[in-house]
Structures are given as C-alpha cells and as structure tokens.
Amino acid sequence: MDIHEYQAKEILARFGVPVPRGGLANSPEQAAYRSDEIGGEAWVVKAQVHSGGRGEAGGVSLCHSDRDVARAAGGLLGKRLVTRQAPAGKLVSQVYVEEAAEIDRELYFAILLDRASEQVVIIASADGGVDVEHLAATAPEAVVRVPVEPAVGFLEFQAREIALAVGLPAGQITPASRIFRAAYRAFRDLDATLLEINPLVITHDGDLVAADAKMSFDDNAIFRSPGIAELRDPSQEDPRERHAADHGLSYVGLTGNIGCIINGAGLAMATMDMIKLAGGEPANFLDIGGGASPDRVLTAFRAVLQDDNVEAVLVNIFAGINRCDWVAEGVLKAFAEADVKVPVVARLSGTNVEQGRRILSHSGLPIIVADTLADAAENVVAASAAGRPAADRVTGGGLR
C-alpha cells in the first residue's frame, strides 16, 4: 500500500526526521491560507498523487505570493496528472503547500526490502533529486548500497559510513546519522517495504531536511498497524487492484489482453511465462489462493473482467487444497452472473479433476478445456487473436 507525501512526512516527523512546515489544501483558497499560515517568502505547491516524476509533469510549483499559490493549486486540483510512472494519469484531489527551503545540496536516501538478497538494503547517493534507477544504470559508483543484517539491525557505524560516503562534512555526520536511523526505525516499526527521501536537502544554514518522502507498506502486515491502514487512498489505486484487494484477492494489473485466474503465485508466474511464450500478453497476475469456493472464483472473474482490454480468460488450477469441481462450478457461476463475453480456456489438474472437467464439458457453454498448460496457453492466445467465440475452437480431443 502506498501513501501520499504529506502522510509520509507526518510519519517521519513522528520518528524524528526533520521535514519542512506545510499544510494540506483541498481548494485554491485553502492553499493560499496555508501559505499565510506557514509564513515566509516562498512556498512549494505539490500535487498529492501516488506517482513519481511529479516535477517534470508540472505537479510541483515554486510560488512567491499567496496569489501564485492559489493559481498553482487551482491548476492542479481536479485534474489528472500524467507522469512517466502513471501514463493514464492520477486524479489530484489535494495539494500540499510547504515552505520552500534554501537548498545548498541534494542527497538521495532510501530503505527498501530487497527480495533478491532477502534483506533490507539502505541506498544513498550524493546526487539527490534524480531518478536513482537511471543513476544506478549510468553511474553505479555514485550509489551506495548497505545491507542490513536482520538479526542486528541498522547500526550507528553504518549510518556514519553512509554519511561519509555521500560526502558530508564532519559537522553534519552526526545529524545525518540520526536522520538515517530514525528513518530506519519508521521503516522497521511500521512494516514498510520502501521508504524514500528524495531529495534529502542540506540548506544554506547547514540543516538537513526531508524535502520529499515516499513510503510503501506490506499489505499483509497492515493489521499490525491500524493507523497505517487508515492512510489508504482508494482514488489513487488501479480500480482493478482495488476491487480485488477489497475481496481478498492477490491481483496486479498488467497491460496485456489475456486475463489470468490461477491458484498459487508460482503457478501464476509460470502461466504468465507460457502465455508470453505462446505469443500473448497477460492482462494481470491473479492468485485466488487455496480453498477457493465457487463464489471466490466468481469474484475473480469479476475482477479480471473489469479490465476492458481483456479479450480472453485463462483459468489454470492445480488443486491440492482446492477442488477442481468447486472451481468448475465457479466458472459456470461466472457465466451466469458476471456476463462473460470473452473466450474462456480452463486447465484443471489435481483433486476431483474428472468431476471438474465433466461439469465444464456438460455445461453447454463456450469453454475450452485444455489438458496441459502449454495447450491452454496456445489456445487462449489463439482465441483472443481470433476474436470469435471459444466454442469455435478445440484443443486435444475437443471440448470435453
């Protein structure tokens, strides 16, 4: 789960990370009031959307009067901000007005869960305010990576080494170390998967301030921090993923045209690979989990069919905890209640497989039953490309 910048800054401030004074606004008038409330001679107006690259997309404005603040807010509120990370645009419902810092240097600091090494990793750079992925690709020597031993945590000497590595002078080593360790405590205590401060600025007075912040959290651990769950903004989420999450499904929207309904993350990944090998593009990752009832299969169909790009659906179930007859009943229920108008290919294996196949073959519905995953992938790709009812196509021994 992602949260907004202003929410991330509120969390960081609670843990002791310095952040600029600021306030949230829902209208141009309120934005101008916020600038008066904050005081000073310059303010930054920022669109609050779950996307990076806001500055280059026009979502961040430096203003020198309350009239400029109101004008900048008015130009953002109610609009869809299109960024490189959100080509479809994100709705701007709120703006954040904060005091403009007099910047001397910009640093990059982040904490993330590195799934490859199965460790928390600290990433820092003396070059802040840039796309760190591009920086790592073009100048890897400019990026500092420090793994954190889970049993020990992020230690003081590691924080000081990072501060030295990004070129901070002696007088700023201790303050920077405090900030780094405070950010780590926020990451650890709240089960975050990403905490990014970009940029961490050094002002003309030598102070270190988190000028921007981003945090993401582990959905499976949010129950341990009820206050974090309340920060969710459904308007910023992919509607397909929001629908699935609301019904307890593991769903990630993609850009292809073949919907996937599968049990097990590993099988889901293998199925997506087979679809691509057959020349198709998956529209989603969806794991319905173990013990899927007919109602849960119906819910999965509804989640997949919310995507207007879906031209065919592949149901791939290896039943251990699941039962193939339950899944088959769910497929029939989807045709009855979810208005399925695209070809459906089903590959069932495991517990009660014969009963499941019999239910599908005797249904009279346009469902292709495949023997293997390879057959299923080839048939769903062909069915989506042909643009004709699935009943017109056969696999193996034909429709069963």
Choosing from 6, 184, 196, 251, the catalytic residue is: 196
Point out which residues pair with 214 in neighbouring strands.
196
Which residues participate in the annotated binding site? 46, 53-55, 98, 101, 106, 198, 212, 263
Q: Which two tokens stand for residue 292?
A: 């899927």
Choosing from 6, 96, 108, 184, the catalytic residue is: 108
Rounded CA-CA distance 59/55 in Å is: 5
* 37 tagged catalytic: no
Residues 6+ apart with CB under 8 A from 79: 91, 92
* 108 tagged catalytic: yes
Q: Do strands 344-350 and 312-319 pair parallel, antiparallel, or not at all (unpaired)?
A: parallel
Which residues participate in the annotated binding site for Mg(2+)? 198, 212
Rounded CA-CA distance 5/233 in Å is: 12
Long-range contact pairs involving 172-177 (C-beta distance under 8 Å, separation at least 24): 172/202, 172/206, 172/208, 175/207, 175/208, 176/208
Which residues participate in the annotated binding site for ATP? 46, 53-55, 98, 101, 106
The set of catalytic residues is 108, 196
